[in-house]
Chain A
Amino acid sequence: MQVNENFEPVIVAFCCNWCSYAGADLSGTNRLNYPSNVKIIRVPCSCRVNPMFILRAFQKGADGVILCGCHPGDCHYTSGNYFTRRRITLLYSMLDFLGIERNRTRLEWVSAAEGAKFAAVMNQFVEDVKKLGPNRRLEDLRCRKQ
């Protein structure tokens, strides 16, 4: 595959309000760098993320989707992220089954105290998606940017 050096992926990050969103905030107040490709969408809990949201993100032009939530056991709603974990495992496995590149999807647990982890995860994820190039297998041609 031809690698386009100038390719800047669009990354959608679903962050839970209680941990990961605060983690992103912390990485900002700590002056840590993470790429501007990452567009954060705040959700009340990682469990709020319907599989449809992830597909929709790809449709509307995302090249990678990452879901961040509280560490298992730390959910603000006690058990939300346990349900997320099962649901998202099955979804990612299904996307893999349909031949969508595995590295376009990810799930990471980031707590409110892990600003450094948030930045590191995002740096790594953007790098991985850059290697894959633009999302072609799960894009909607009508939504492709000119």
Chain B
Amino acid sequence: MQEAMIKRAKELLADGTVNRVMGWKRGEFSYDITPAVFETAEELDAEFVCDDLTQANVSKYLIKESRKEGKILALLKPCDTYSFNQLVKEHRIIRENVYVIGIPGGPKIDIEKIKAKEISGILSVKNEDYTLKIETIYGTETMPYYEAISGKCENCKSKKHVVFDELIGEDGDVLESNRFEMVEKLENMTAQERYDFWRDQLSKCIRCNACRNVCPACTCENCVFDNPKSGIDNKAAADSFEENMFHIIRAFHVAGRCTDCGECSRVCPQNIPLHLLNRKFIKDINSLYGEYQAGADTTSRAPLNDYSTDDCEPSIVHERGVE
């Protein structure tokens, strides 16, 4: 698949359709796949990589890239196309300046899940018939593919590319996923249990802002968390209140626009399940205001930019019974 992508990218570079390619290359470690822009065929041959470890969503980079001269080629997985579409809808990406090739999606491998099996000194990871062969400095280890599947792929919502100019591989369908399972489990707990769960999780936050920086929906030029006048621009959360507040506000700012791509939880160095906050909003929006998938189209109104005269009252939250 990687060869097919490089071949097609070279063709498009050669015939002048695009002058850059948005892809991925290896980072400091061979398994750290990081987004990168390629300008020549030689660079593509030498560095381009798209394998089972390539999880990063490149949509957000296209905001700046689509404002540069010439067209850029973007290789997007199904889940990335939702983020891309949402950004086109919000006039953040200039659609005319991007040539989109849809590529097959996951399930992708999360290196952290391999490391969690106490496998260290990793040199390379290969997938051989759904068994991972992991070369380390201590020798070769194996583990089943499904045990290392990335958290964001576990509850895949769709294999369908919602936007593309051409496809490599085949287009899939929207899937039936049970992605709200954990949210429902939390909802059924008592308030004290929920409070303890979130205190446990959010107290780990080191306020590195990685979740905000990676989020394709967080695209403000000046973020409220960077504005000294907002009074909440702290580098570290000094109090449990600030931990709660940061995560409520972060999730609220993307409510109705979050496509549930799962990048926030993927990049969290403390493994906080941040996507649960986003999914709670998605679940509420779906159940209260009708099914809505952000990024599925570029014309519909976002649920929080819209209203209906017979919306429910906030008192339904209080009517959920005793705590």
Contacts of A66-105 to chain B: CB distance below 8 A: 72-73, 79, 82-83, 85-103, 105
Q: How many interface contacts (CB-CB < 8 Å) are there between A and B?
A: 117
The 7 closest A-B pairs by CB, nearest first: A99-B195, A82-B307, A99-B194, A140-B241, A89-B314, A92-B317, A107-B314
Chain B residues with Cβ under 8 A from A3's Cβ? none
Chain A residues with Cβ under 8 A from B186's Cβ? 97
Contact A93 B244 (CB under 8 A): no
Contact A93 B280 (CB under 8 A): yes
Contact of B198 among A90, A98, A107, A142 (CB under 8 A): A98
Give the distance in Å from the alpha carbon of A85 to the alpha carbon of B288 in the complex: 12
A85-B314, A137-B195 are known contacts. Are A98 and B244 too (CB-CB below 8 A)? yes
Q: How far is the CB of A101 from chain B (nearest CB, A)?
A: 6
Report 11 cross-chain contacts, Cβ distance below 8 Å, ordered by A residue: A73-B309, A83-B307, A85-B313, A88-B314, A92-B318, A99-B195, A99-B197, A99-B198, A107-B315, A140-B239, A141-B239
Contact A90 B255 (CB under 8 A): yes
Cβ of B187 within 8 Å of any chain A Cβ, yes or no, is yes
Chain A residues with Cβ under 8 A from B320's Cβ? 96, 102
Chain B residues with Cβ under 8 A from A142's Cβ? 238-239
Give the distance in Å from the alpha carbon of A72 to the alpha carbon of B312 in the complex: 11
User: Which interface class (under 10, 10 to 19, 20 to 34, 35 or more) fits A?
Assistant: 35 or more
Chain A residues with Cβ under 8 A from B199's Cβ? 99
Contact A101 B191 (CB under 8 A): yes
Q: Which of B241, B308, B323 has the most CB of A within 10 A?
A: B241
Cβ of B52 within 8 Å of any chain A Cβ, yes or no, is no
Q: Mark B220-238, 1 if CB is under 8 A from A, else 0.
A: 0000100000001000001
Q: How far is the CB of B201 from chain A (nearest CB, A)?
A: 10
Cβ of A114 within 8 Å of any chain B Cβ, yes or no, is no
Contact of B284 among A73, A90, A98, A140 (CB under 8 A): A90
Contacts of B1-28 to chain A: CB distance below 8 A: none
Chain B residues with Cβ under 8 A from A86's Cβ? 289, 303-304, 306-307, 311
Q: How far is the CB of B250 from chain A (nearest CB, A)?
A: 11
Q: How far is the CB of B18 from chain A (nearest CB, A)?
A: 40
Q: Which of B197, B224, B239 has the most CB of A within 10 A?
A: B239
Q: Which residue of A lies closest to B242 (CB)?
A: A140
Give the distance in Å from the alpha carbon of A112 to the alpha carbon of B303 in the complex: 30
Cβ of B316 within 8 Å of any chain A Cβ, yes or no, is yes
Q: How far is the CB of A6 from chain B (nearest CB, A)?
A: 24
Cβ of A8 within 8 Å of any chain B Cβ, yes or no, is no
Given A85-B314, A99-B199, 11 more A-B residue pairs with CB atoms under 8 Å apart are A73-B309, A82-B307, A85-B307, A89-B312, A99-B191, A99-B192, A99-B195, A100-B195, A102-B318, A102-B320, A107-B313
